[in-house]
Structure 1
Amino acid sequence: MAAAKIKKGDRVVVLSGKDKGKHGEVVRSLPKDSKVVVSGVNVVTRHKKASQANPQGGLERSEAPIHVSKVAIEDPKTGKPTRVGFRIENGQKVRVAKRSGEVING
């Protein structure tokens, strides 16, 4: 299995769709579905019926998963989208931003 290029906690930029250009942090990664959940991106509204747990009911807003191909890692140096490469440093495989050559945390 290939190494994950986008992981939980990464800062990403949305490349296409209604939230194009937005920046956010990956809250959850769903590798089997090739999707990620990004904070503040792809927010959907659900109408919730009142229940004992939620006696008020009403509208519930939450982030829905977005396909991993629609997001790119944010370059740590420039803040722009970048592709991800891999390099061995001190016997450890690390992710590297192709745009600047910076090592990506995580």
Structure 2
Amino acid sequence: MKRIKQGDEVIVISGKDKGKQGVVISLENSGKCLVRGIKMVKRHTKPNPQAGIQGGVIEKESLIDLSNIAIFNPSSKKPDGVSVKVSENGKRYRVFKSNGKEIKQ
């Protein structure tokens, strides 16, 4: 089970965006993810009238390594670790390491 999933609220713990919060947009198999509003880069694009694309400078999110982010714990308002627990019926669920509360999906 993945410790960070799409839709989780995370905090950047290292890098130029340290301390910023965002929501995970997508996860990559390479151990990286896209976080809304984090690690913004500028891309120069050519205009393509056939596809309706206007040229210019576009600002968008870039991939950030999973080791540089931590899940946000709303009860403590701090970054927190994730642990995976198994219930009696065999179902696995994620919990915060600091207080043991289940992470909402």
TM over 0.5: yes
Aligned counterpart for 1:45 among listed residues 18, 42, 45: 42
Aligned counterpart for 1:36 among listed residues 30, 33, 38: 33
Question: Where do residues 65-80 of structure 1 align in structure 2 (5 Å cutoff)?
Answer: 65-80=63-78
Counterpart secondary structure, 1:51:
coil
Residue in 2 that maps onto 1:88? 86
Q: CA RMSD in A?
A: 1.2
Q: Deviations 1:35-76 (Å, cap 9, x if unpaired)?
A: 01000001110111111122x411111101100000001113
The amino acid across from 2:39 in the alignment is N
Residue in 1 that maps onto 2:103? 104
Cα distance in 2 for residues equivalent to 1:105 and 1:29: 18
Cα distance in 1 for residues equivalent to 2:87 and 2:75: 19
Cα distance in 2 for residues equivalent to 1:9 and 1:102: 18
Cα distance in 1 for residues equivalent to 2:94 and 2:60: 30
Structure 1 residue 90 displacement after superposition: 5.5
Residue in 2 that maps onto 1:26? 24
Return the TM-score normalized by structure 2: 0.90
Return the TM-score normalized by structure 1: 0.89
Structure 1 runs not aligned, ≥5 long: none
Give the percent of matched residue pairs that are identical in Structure 1 and Structure 2.
38
Cα distance in 2 for residues equivalent to 1:101 and 1:77: 11
Structure 2 runs not aligned, ≥5 long: none
